[in-house]
Amino acid sequence: MKIAHHKRAYTGPIFRMALFWTMVLALPCILGNAWAADLPGSKDHPLLKRFRGSEIVAYEVKRFDAFELPTSTFKRYNLETKKREFAAEPLKLEGARTQIWYEAPGASSTELIRNYQNELTAQGFAILYDSTKDPAAANWINFLAPFADSKIKTSRSNYVFYSASPGGIRVSSAKLERPQGDVYVFLTAVEWPQDDAIYKAKQGAYLAVDVIELKPMVQDMVVVSAGEMFQALAAGGRVALYGIFFDFNKAEIKPESRPALAEIAKLLSQEPGLKLHVVGHTDNVGGFDFNLSLSKRRAEAVVAALAGEYGIAPGRLTPNGVAYLAPVAVNTTEEGRAKNRRVELVPR
């Protein structure tokens, strides 16, 4: 995540915010007119113009990421479950993600939100949520209140600056349907009291823009050969496979999984005495009960494909699902979640 910096910046508790997963950003102090233009390497998203006079001060693009898009009132952060609670469940999205943070001198948060909503509507987006029209929207200022401890990792699906005006936060989400994949936008705007200029570089407001373009992840894992599977089973008692693909939250095997399935069938043909547990593993997105069922159904789909398409005797394969109980990486990053979504073979 690129962040614009001054030569001198405040540290400590004077200004904190939870930003982009694990990062805590300290906003720069005022140094006359020393604030630079757009952050080097940053640019507007092709689907959205910027507010006149605003500058990009934070920028990041990810080819594939997970994002929970709020479409209703934020109610509270549940300290027991460590989850945000809304009037309705947020949309769980996966795809390309662009994050842009603008500073807009002289603007108000309402002015920013309205301009961007008008721009989105002109581009064909439908507004899904608008906090300015939500009579229960007062709690948004507390959205990140539980995350004062920077050790707590947060997704930047929303964020609130701790020193911002309680009545100045504005939140909105929108959706554009298109043949090549739907696009979602989430906006968060904040401003500061007139007498709190020390917290910001210029008087005005800040706007965070998240653009999520739905698309399947490009799987870069190499297909494991039958020989490599046998060696892994002999040496470690299991083999993890990443070449069996499913759509998000579904258990139907995708056609591009055939090379991996063919290698499993080849292994079983070469080793007629081999019997296997086929174990489905997921990440932790969606809760345990859902993922337990999903992982089992995915394992059953693999067994069914091997039996129905490759002639493997069903009695040699036992499908099992363990949800996210056996991770091989953290579930707090997309890279970690991708490693946890796998099928394993374990000798019976």
Q: Copy the structure tokens of residue 5.
A: 């910096």
Rounded distance between C-alpha atoms, residue 70 and residue 156, angstroms: 12
**Domains by residue range for the chain, with CATH:** 2-214 (no CATH), 226-347 (3.30.1330.60)
Q: Copy the structure tokens of residue 113.
A: 């939100």
| Whole-prediction pTM | 0.55
Q: Give the residue ranges of DSSP H helices in the chain.
A: 109-122, 226-236, 258-270, 288-310, 334-340
DSSP calls for 25-57: -PPB---TT---SSPTT----TT----TT-EEE
249-298 pLDDT per residue, tens: 899 999 989 999 999 999 999 999 999 999 999 999 888 999 999 999 99
pLDDT, position 28: 35
Measured between its terminal Cα atoms, the distance across the chain in Å is 46
211 within 8 A of 123, measured Cβ to Cβ: no
**What Å distances lie between residue 226 and 128, 197, 253, CA to CA?**
49, 65, 20
CA 36 to chain CA centroid, Å, is 30
Give the number of other Cβ atoms within 10 Å of residue 307's Cβ.
16
pLDDT, position 192: 66
Burial grade of 282 (CB within 10 A; 0-12, 13-18, 19 or more): buried
pLDDT, position 168: 80
CA torsion through residues 333, 335, 341, 342, sign: negative
Contacts within 8 Å (CB) and 24+ apart, 225-234: 225/263, 226/263, 226/264, 226/266, 226/267, 226/270, 229/263, 229/264, 229/267, 229/345, 230/267, 230/270, 230/271, 233/345, 233/347
pLDDT, position 2: 53
153-176 pLDDT per residue, tens: 333 333 335 556 667 889 999 999
CA 246 to chain CA centroid, Å, is 18
pLDDT, position 179: 80
Residue that is written with structure tokens 């994002």 in the block: 67
Query: How would you label 257-275 residue by residue, b for 16+ Cβ within 10 Å and e otherwise?
Result: bbebbbbbbbbbeebeebe
Rounded distance between C-alpha atoms, residue 100 and residue 47, angstroms: 13
pLDDT, position 103: 87
Rounded distance between C-alpha atoms, residue 74 and residue 72, angstroms: 7
Going residue by residue through the chain, which has 348 residues, state the pLDDT in tens, using 9 for 90 and above: 554 543 333 333 333 333 332 232 333 332 233 344 898 999 999 999 999 999 998 899 998 888 999 999 998 878 787 788 899 999 989 889 999 989 888 899 999 999 999 999 999 999 999 999 998 887 776 664 543 333 223 333 333 355 566 678 899 999 999 888 899 999 989 886 555 444 455 567 888 899 999 875 555 556 889 999 999 899 889 999 988 999 888 999 999 899 999 999 999 999 999 999 999 999 998 889 999 999 999 999 999 999 999 999 999 999 999 999 999 988 887 778 888 999 999 999
Name residue 256's amino acid: E
